[in-house]
Amino acid sequence: MPKIIPIKELKNTASVSLMVRESEEPVYVTKNGYGDMVLMSTEKYEKLMYERDIMVKLLEGEQAIKRGEVEDAFESIERISRKYGI
């Protein structure tokens, strides 16, 4: 379950830092009862960005396949072998 804290709790930086690092999910910060920002550890953020990058590359690959912009690996190796006499 996500943690939600009021913005005034950010005054206790050490406590908030510990809470964010220990949390499996982002920590939501509210201001006047409304969502204002989201906190997460650098480690979790980098993992999230890495996974997002992989998903983007997979989607790009799938789109390239649909557009016919890819070649079978075996055919590609055969073509290169013939071209360079390998």
Q: What is the pLDDT of residue 74?
A: 94
Question: Token pair for residue 22?
Answer: 């220990």
Residues 49 and 80 in one domain: yes
Residues 9 and 31 in one domain: yes
Residues 14 and 35 in one domain: yes
Give the pLDDT mean for 8-29. 95
Residue-wise pLDDT tens digits, 53-62: 999 999 999 9
Predicted confidence band of residue 31 (pLDDT cuts 50, 70, 90): very high
Domain residues for 8? Answer: 3-40
